[in-house]
Amino acid sequence: MAAVSAWRGARARVDYAVATLLGRPRACVLDRLFAAYPDFYHMRDYGDERMDAIAEVIRREVGDCASLGDVSVYEGYALGRVADRLGVANLSGCDLSEVALDRARGALSGSFAAFDLTRLYDDPAIGLPIPRPDVLLVCECLYYVGPLANHAWSQSWIFRSRKLGFIAALRRHARKAVIFQHFGSRQKDAIGELVVAAGGRKVEDRWGIWLLPATA
Ligand SMILES: C[S@@+](CC[C@H](N)C(=O)[O-])C[C@H]1O[C@@H](n2cnc3c(N)ncnc32)[C@H](O)[C@@H]1O
């Protein structure tokens, strides 16, 4: 039995590595990986400084925030920690993985829905399947979205107008602001440059946080 689950875990890792190398992982690949390895990304091991920084930016730059949404809510860890710091109880989130979403539902109360962000990238008019929050979090996920995924989000000029259309769709879904946070050195500047082109600004360097005010 242990050998079977070890083999399944190893297979899930290989499938994920291949999918990421060739483009981006599909829902079934992530579901198998997350089922085998809870908190596969070791988000808890990074500690809470990232969430402290995001909460501080919202407090300082946005002010009152009554609702928070997260477009890649994963197991709910980042959303829950930011919400705790701001005292926000109205939460929502979506994610490609049902396995991750089930863990988020177990950890937090709110509105959670399965959704592939690439659908919004392909058709910015469809919107997101969650209520419109004051602040929408877009953290550590864009490199999984759209054609060429990580490669495209590491260079701002690749598919620039499509990425700007997608960013505009995210912006329409926020009442007050969208927070973009990606700390990988190549992605953070390329994504940040697009957020600035869309009308946003850099608000924190260490974790790579850019703020895009909602459309007036
Ligand atoms: C590195 S984790 C980041 C989790 C969380 N946003 C955070 O910052 O802690 C990436 C998350 O993106 C999700 N994801 C990957 N591809 C996606 C897609 N196409 N649409 C929506 N979510 C996706 C994964 O399931 C995972 O939960």
User: How close is the Cα of 199 to the center of ligand 1, in Å?
Assistant: 24
| Least-confidence region, from 64-68, 134-138, 148-152, 160-164 | 148-152
User: How close is the Cα of 207 to the center of ligand 1, in Å?
Assistant: 17
Q: Give residue-wise pLDDT tens across range 58-113.
A: 999 999 999 999 999 999 999 999 999 999 999 999 999 999 999 999 999 999 99
pLDDT mean over 121-150: 97
Q: CA angle 193-143-89, nearest 5°?
A: 90
Atom of ligand 1 nearest to the CA of 75: 27
Q: Residue 207: beta bridge partners?
A: none
Structure tokens at 139: 């953290």
User: How close is the Cα of 58 to the center of ligand 1, in Å?
Assistant: 21
CB-based burial, 111-145: b 16+ in 10 Å, e otherwise: bbeebbbbebbeebeeebebeebbbbbbbbbbbbb
User: What's the confidence (pLDDT) of residue 40?
Assistant: 95
36, 85, 42, 39: which is closest to 60 by C-alpha? 85
Q: Residue 92: beta bridge partners?
A: 69, 111
> Tokens 């070791």 label which residue?
42
pTM over 0.85: yes
